[in-house]
Chain A
Amino acid sequence: MIEEIYRTTFEEVRRAAGTVLHEPADRDAVVHEVYLELLSSRELRESHRGGQMGSWLGAIARHQALDFARRESRLTDLSAVDEVSAKSDPVADLRRELVRFAEKLDPERQRLVQLRYIEGMTQMEAAAILGKPRSTLEDWEHQFKRALQAHLAGRKGAQNDNGRKVPQ
């Protein structure tokens, strides 16, 4: 029963938490907490008085996200919640970084990055185009993600070394 609720409401709840918390780890931690509480608290389940389950859980997620942001000081301006930042799109930033990073890879792996993360193909589709077993692409992606993580961490370290304030 609760698994079915999770299945049908997950996106709405995640979106609601994401309007407050732009950091994926924070957003997903709050989403996790909302469903964990739904699982463990009969009181919470009984407090649902009808209506759309997704909207109700979304409101709870947003409320918890605001609490989380205040508690963890992750937002400096709560009135800015829901405003879409015109200055920065982290996904677009990541795409640009991906393209730069992929230039260091061999041509097949470059093509994989292009197909999977720029053109949005599934592993099966990319495997068919590259003429490789899907399991090979799985391995490549695993290696690639670790290398990308190290690359991004290195860039951040370099930026910090260039005089940016390092968060404590």
Chain B
Amino acid sequence: MGAHFSGQSSTRADRRLFHHLKTCDACREEYRTYAMLESLEADGAERARVRMGRGLFEPAPKRVFVGGGLALACACMALVFSLGRTHDFTPRGRVHDGDAPMPALGIYRVPHEGAVPTVEDTQRAGNVVHTSESLAFTYVNPPAIGASYLMIFARDAAGRVYWFYPAWTDGSQDPASLPIPANGAPIELPEAVRHSLQPGSLTIVGLFTPKPLHVHEVEAAVANGLDGLQAFPGHVWTETVEVAP
């Protein structure tokens, strides 16, 4: 409740809150106190509009184009693609060779705000990213696996999901995975994306699939954890980082 009124909650949490309020007398009483205090404040009506809007409209992540060169830079860094874990959800009907290269992501932190970042601005993400940073990505899709579509998102410890690719800025839409080539070369995605990440653990997911998926079905699948991704054929790559203030 405090998080909702102080602007710290997410769209999903706010939706759960309004659903929960209908059946919980204790929370209704707490809400009443906060709401009436808010109505006494000078800008109470505006604050109410803003906080309730958060439960309706996902905050649009900031997306900026990264200067070319990420893929070239990481082409020399095979290490980049050895980090993270690939979950062995082999496409149905195919036997996976354990030594074959697997689809993977490279994650880059883009610390600069405002100006269009160049490759020199970026840093390979280690174990920690900061709330003020944008994230940029490269991917590799080995021909032996040959995934055709990619989604990149992150899920934090509270279950909040942050979409990087495809972009999802309008809750009434249901965008689909990006089509990707399978040539084995590192390929950079052109935009760095900054979300309002919450401090704590964050798992970044690359979902490589033979067919396009949509954000709604993926969000539903991961509502109770990333194990839900096993419902989809393809390969799941993950890396967990710590988000610091």
Query: Would you call B31 an interface residue if the criterion is a C-beta within 8 Å of the partner chain's C-beta atoms?
Result: yes
> Complex Cα distance A121/B42, Å?
5
How near does chain B come to A166, taking the closest CB pair, in angstroms? 10
Give B residues with C-beta under 8 Å from A: 2, 5-6, 15, 18-19, 21-22, 25, 27-37, 39-43, 45, 48-49, 52-53, 55-57, 171-172
Tell me the number of A-to-B contacts counted with CB atoms below 8 Å.
Answer: 101
Task: Please determine whether A120 and B41 come into contact, CB atoms closer than 8 angstroms.
Answer: yes
> Complex Cα distance A27/B21, Å?
11
> Complex Cα distance A147/B48, Å?
21
Task: Please determine whether B37 and A117 come into contact, CB atoms closer than 8 angstroms.
Answer: yes
A35-B56, A36-B15, A142-B6 are known contacts; what are 19 more A-B pairs with Cβ within 8 Å? A6-B53, A7-B49, A10-B53, A14-B48, A25-B27, A25-B35, A28-B31, A29-B18, A39-B56, A72-B22, A94-B36, A94-B37, A117-B37, A117-B40, A117-B41, A121-B42, A122-B41, A145-B5, A152-B29
Give A residues with C-beta under 8 Å from B: 2-3, 6-7, 10-11, 14, 23-26, 28-29, 31-33, 35-36, 39-40, 72, 90-91, 94-95, 98, 116-118, 120-122, 125, 142, 145-146, 148-149, 152-153, 156, 167
> Complex Cα distance A25/B30, Å?
9
> Complex Cα distance A23/B55, Å?
19
How near does chain B come to A108, taking the closest CB pair, in angstroms? 18
List, in ascending order, chain B residues with CB within 8 A of A31's CB.
Answer: 52
List, in ascending order, chain A residues with CB within 8 A of B53's CB.
Answer: 3, 6-7, 10
Do most interface residues of chain A lie in helix, strand or loop, or is the interface mixed? helix
List, in ascending order, chain A residues with CB within 8 A of B36's CB.
Answer: 24, 90-91, 94
Q: Which residue of B lies closest to A42 (CB)?
A: B172
Name A28's contact: one of B30, B37, B52 (CB within 8 Å). Answer: B52
Task: Please determine whether B2 and A146 come into contact, CB atoms closer than 8 angstroms.
Answer: yes
How near does chain A come to B20, taking the closest CB pair, in angstroms? 9
How near does chain B come to A54, taking the closest CB pair, in angstroms? 13
Given contacts A2-B172, A120-B41, contact A149 B22 (CB under 8 A): no
Task: Please determine whether B39 and A23 come into contact, CB atoms closer than 8 angstroms.
Answer: no
Task: Please determine whether A32 and B29 come into contact, CB atoms closer than 8 angstroms.
Answer: no
Task: Please determine whether A39 and B41 come into contact, CB atoms closer than 8 angstroms.
Answer: no
Closest 4 CB pairs of A and B: A24-B35, A25-B28, A25-B31, A117-B40
List, in ascending order, chain B residues with CB within 8 A of A125's CB.
Answer: 42
List, in ascending order, chain A residues with CB within 8 A of B41's CB.
Answer: 116-117, 120, 122
